[in-house]
Amino acid sequence: MSSISHDLRTPLCAIAGSASVLLDDEHPLPRSEQRELLTMIFDEADHLNRLVRNLLDMSRLQSGGLLVKKEWMTLEEVIGSALERLERLLARHPVHVALPPSLPLVPIDGTLIEQVFYNLLENASKHTPPGTDIFISASIEAGTLVVQVKDTGPGLPAACEDRVFERFFRGSRARQDSGVGLGLAICRGIVEAHGGQIQAHSRPEGGALFRFTLPLEGTPPRLPPDERSPSSLEPHEGSAGPTAHRPQPASDHAGAA
Ligand SMILES: Nc1ncnc2c1ncn2[C@@H]1O[C@H](COP(=O)(O)OP(=O)(O)O)[C@@H](O)[C@H]1O
Ligand SMILES: [Mg+2]
């Protein structure tokens, strides 16, 4: 509790401090310095928002209140939304997305799996030096979707490949502002709630590798390559599987530095 309180207080103090300087009519600041303070308020509020979201997700996972609502979706769409939300954090990291063109629709809870990508990519941005590459790839192996998110940073803390998924685990080198150590515990909770598994490795060539699986049950609705109309996405008659979700065109985020 004291560690979390400290993590919540740091951005709050920065926000309150900057706002009080901006409100001081007796010592007006030049426009450029005002902007700097406003940017800092924005960034710190964003940071606070992410911390609180992690706390809420974790308490839902723990209380069993997490409902997995599977829909047929394209993986690009989910990855695209996570990348969009992380645009500012990832500004100094080229992100390379490699998905096979034959990848079918996958039965997932899009909001939750987006959060898995979000937490993994947030880590890849915060626990690695600026300028280093991040790779996202997916494949199908024996009826299972296999997703990999890897980076080219320092890799995981030694002998902590399992421990990183524990609640409140933070590596000793983790930056003060990186989070409260819940991001990966949430990833594991969400992936396991889908019936999949997640593992972490330090790559021999350097960098961290996260690999998770998601079972591909049921028959995906047929998706003609050029004709992505909502009617073509109706699930097969009598199918009790996930509902169909209309995919949005994915944008290319490779090299979004
Ligand atoms: N991509 C990565 N590279 C190196 N270390 C990582 C990476 N992702 C996670 N870690 C390690 O795992 C720990 C736990 O990650 P996480 O649960 O997301 O917590 P947080 O990011 O809040 O510290 C981090 O503190 C860090 O030590
Ligand atoms: Mg994290």
**Pair (130, 187) in one structural domain:** yes
* Residue 181 covered by a domain: yes
252, with CB counted inside 10 A (0-12, 13-18, 19+), is exposed
In a shared domain, residues 126 and 51: no
Question: Edge-to-edge, what's the strand order for the sheet holding 95-98?
Answer: 95-98, 134-141, 144-151, 208-215, 198-202
Taking the CA of residue 128 as reference, the ligand 1 atom at the shortest distance is 3
58 Cα to the center of ligand 1, angstroms: 16
Within-domain flag for 253: no
Domains held by the chain: number: 2
For residue 58, give its domain range.
2-63
Q: Is 235 in the pocket of ligand 1 (CB under 6 A)?
A: no
> In tens digits, what is the pLDDT along the chain, a chain of 257 residues?
677 788 888 899 999 999 999 999 999 999 999 999 999 999 999 989 988 988 888 888 888 888 899 999 999 999 999 999 999 899 999 999 999 998 999 999 999 999 999 999 999 999 999 999 999 999 999 989 999 999 999 999 999 999 999 998 988 877 666 678 999 999 999 999 999 999 999 999 999 999 999 999 888 777 666 544 443 333 333 334 455 554 443 344 444 33
- Cβ contact 108:114 at 8 Å: no
Amino acid at 224: P
127 Cα to the center of ligand 2, angstroms = 8
**126 and 191 belong to one structural domain:** yes
The CB of 89 under 6 Å from ligand 1? The reply is: no
228 burial type by CB count under 10 A (0-12 exposed, 13-18 middle, 19+ buried): middle
Residue 106 falls inside a structural domain: yes
Which residue has a Cα nearest atom 13 of ligand 1? 170
* CATH number of 214's domain: 3.30.565.10
Does residue 255 lie in a domain region?
no
Contact yes or no for 226/213 (Cβ under 8 A): no
Residues 110, 189 within the same domain = yes
Among the candidates 21, 40, 63, a domain finishes at: 63
Same domain, 236 and 145: yes
